[in-house]
Amino acid sequence: MSGPLAYLSRKYHFAASHRLHVDALSPERNREVFGKCNNPFGHGHNYIVQVTFAGRVDASTGMVTNLADLDDFAETRLIHAFDHRNLNTLACFRDAVPSTENLCLEVWRIFLEYPHATLKCVRVEETNNNAFEYFGEAPPTLHAA
């Protein structure tokens, strides 16, 4: 409750493949909706995940949270699960299209369990030109920690 409220953003990188396809739709409709992302056998990306946490700056250490702790958490929970994987084969995408929007929501669920700071935003960049963000479903106050 003491120090000023600051935000920490950290980027993680992984490479994965996916194919956008919905079994319930016809091949024609899949092609129409997903275009080249529906190509058989899939394609891939170098994904960049940015997680943003809010926290009070600790008066003694000058930190919002210890980056070493956050990196350990990310290594175990994010990188190990997604890096060099085919997203379509993962349990979390059994019933959901592995779109980058849904990947963003899944990464949110993972980092929401990080115990040392308050998750505020997950951003996933699929290419240099497009990115997706999720801020959770809480009321739109950026400052409540």
The catalytic residue positions are 37, 84, 126
Amino acid occupying residue 128? N
Distance of closest approach, residue 125 Cβ to its own copies, in angstroms? 9
- Looking at the Cβ atoms of 115 and 140, the one nearer to its own copies is 140
Distance of closest approach, residue 110 Cβ to its own copies, in angstroms? 15
31 phi/psi in degrees, rounded to 5: -65, -40
Amino acid occupying residue 15? A
Distance of closest approach, residue 4 Cβ to its own copies, in angstroms? 6
Return d(Cα 145, Cα 129) in angstroms, integer.
31
81 Cβ partners below 8 Å, 6+ apart? 90, 110
